[in-house]
Amino acid sequence: MGTSVILAPLMEKIGKLKPVGEGSLPPGSAADGRTPTDPLEDGAIRADGRLDTVGLFCPIPIIKTGARMRGMDEGQVLEVISDDRVILVDLPNWCRGAGHEYLGCFEAVSEIHLFVKKRVRKPSPHPGK
């Protein structure tokens, strides 16, 4: 099976995306440009690190995000900057799978700024195991 067959449904979905803030984001990430998780709302989010992936395409921004998150402390926030609209689908899904918290995003000029909070591991109920 060729990659064009595998990617066709995804590319069709991406082609139908609206501009950020107009219902193009995954549920819970934005609605009408402002949501409770909007990173710019009242200056609520302060990133502890920044990762510029402009010019890189899937899956490289996700791979680089994973590598950067491994070097961060629990609870710290990473700002990922991208111009690849696929990241609007990929990053929230990756966060769910990896256990990190997707905080939201905004678009400035031609860049998408996304925010991820590194998961905080709960202490084991069985110390020493």
Each residue of 34-75: pLDDT tens digit? Answer: 443 455 554 567 899 999 999 999 999 999 999 999 999 999
Structural domains of the chain, with CATH? 3-117 (3.30.110.40)
pLDDT value, residue 40: 53
State the average pLDDT over residues 5-19: 42
Q: Which residue has the tokens 């696929």?
A: 86
Q: Which of 68-72, 77-81, 119-123 has the lowest mean pLDDT?
A: 119-123
Q: What tokens appear for 20 in the block?
A: 């950020």
- Mean per-residue pLDDT for 14-31? 42
pTM score of the predicted model: 0.65
Asked if residue 100 lies in contact with residue 69, where contact means CB atoms within 8 angstroms, the answer is yes
> What is the average per-residue pLDDT within 94-122?
94
33 burial type by CB count under 10 A (0-12 exposed, 13-18 middle, 19+ buried): middle
- CA pair distance 61, 89, nearest whole angstrom: 12
Catalytically annotated residues: 58
Q: Are 63 and 94 in contact (CB under 8 A)?
A: no
